[in-house]
Chain A
Amino acid sequence: MMWQEPKTDWTNADPVRFKVDFYRIENNIAWLYFLLR
């Protein structure tokens, strides 16, 4: 697990890549949880 820079330039034309984008989002949330423990 490690921090990945969030994608903050989404457009409606961007496809959602579940294995990449959701992995990043959930992974980053897990990283925040780790830092806050």
Chain B
Amino acid sequence: MATWKDPKIDWDINPKSPMAADFNRIEENIKYLKEHIDAKKGLIVDAINTKSNIVTIENSYQELANAITNIHKNPRMASGTGQLIQISDSSAKLVVAGLSFTPARIFITGKVRTTAGFYYDSFNNTYKEYKTPYEYAVISDLLIPTQIEDKYFDNFNFSIVRFTVKLQCVITRHEDGFEAVFTNPLIPPTGYTTVIDNYETNYWFAYEQEG
């Protein structure tokens, strides 16, 4: 890093033959100014490009100001439908790509069937799995309802078995889309599997960051 040295500004009233120290001061001060412009103007350039990659350090300050004024004044949006892709028995993902912007706000609706729980069948000495439909919406990265209640009437024991089932969604954003991974976190008994199946069409909406 260059260090600033006060320029000699009295050459007119105090002239002398320029020496190495003078040239070093002049050139180091030039270097200092360049480093500071790069660093400080660079902060503004980087901040703008975080929103939208549209300026470089060589743009004028007026152009940077114009970019800030106009950036994402009209955020882009896209919508569509998609099918879930199975990742594992208990997880599936919706992949959206090819957007012309990085999505900020994402909304998804869809429906699956998933394991609500396992109940013990004492007659057969085994577990039986109960599945329930789960209709969901993902709003601001939160899947709702966060859980649903369902119940099963056990004919054999003449009793009602109640279940609370949860579905979770984690969204990863990409430059041109997003990936939403749906998981049922239910831990099954040993030898059994929690599943998500019967995928229905997902409807999604994606919006660019405003401002």
User: B97 on the interface (CB 8 Å rule)?
Assistant: no
Query: Do A35 and B30 have beta carbons less than 8 Å apart?
Result: no
Contact with B along A3-37 (1 / 0, CB 8 A): 10111111110101000010001001101101111
Bound state CA distance, A8 and B27, in angstroms?
Answer: 6
The answer, yes or no, to whether B41 is at the interface (CB within 8 Å) is yes
A11 to chain B, nearest CB (A): 5
Q: At the interface, is chain A mostly helix, strand, loop or mixed?
A: loop
| Smallest CB separation, A9 vs chain B (Å) | 7
- Please, how many angstroms separate the alpha-carbon atoms of A28 and B2 in the complex? 15
Across the interface, do B28 and A8 meet the contact criterion of CB distance under 8 Å? yes
Tell me, yes or no, whether B37 is within 8 Å of chain A by CB: yes
User: Who on chain B is nearest to A29 by CB?
Assistant: B30
Q: Is B20 engaged at the interface, CB distance under 8 Å to the other chain?
A: yes
Check if B57 sits within 8 Å of A7, measured CB to CB: no
A10 with B23: CB separation less than 8 A: yes
Chain B 23-55, CB-CB to A under 8 Å as 1, else 0, gives 110111011011001000100000000000000
With beta carbons under 8 angstroms apart, the residue of B20, B37, B57 that contacts A10 is: B20
Counting CB contacts under 8 A, is B192 at the interface? no
Say yes or no: is B60 at the interface (Cβ < 8 Å to chain A). yes
Report the separation of the CA atoms of residues A9 and B2 in the bound assembly, to the nearest whole angstrom. Answer: 12
Interface membership of chain B positions 174-190, coded 1 if the CB is closer than 8 angstroms to chain A and 0 otherwise: 00000000000000000
Bound-state Cα–Cα, A10 to B31, Å: 14
Chain B residues packing against A (C-beta within 8 Å) = 2, 18-21, 23-24, 26-28, 30-31, 33-34, 37, 41, 57-58, 60-61
13 A-B pairs with CB atoms under 8 Å apart are A6-B28, A8-B27, A8-B28, A10-B20, A10-B24, A11-B20, A12-B20, A14-B20, A31-B34, A32-B34, A35-B34, A36-B37, A37-B61
| B-binding residues in A (CB < 8 A) | 3, 5-12, 14, 16, 21, 25, 28-29, 31-32, 34-37
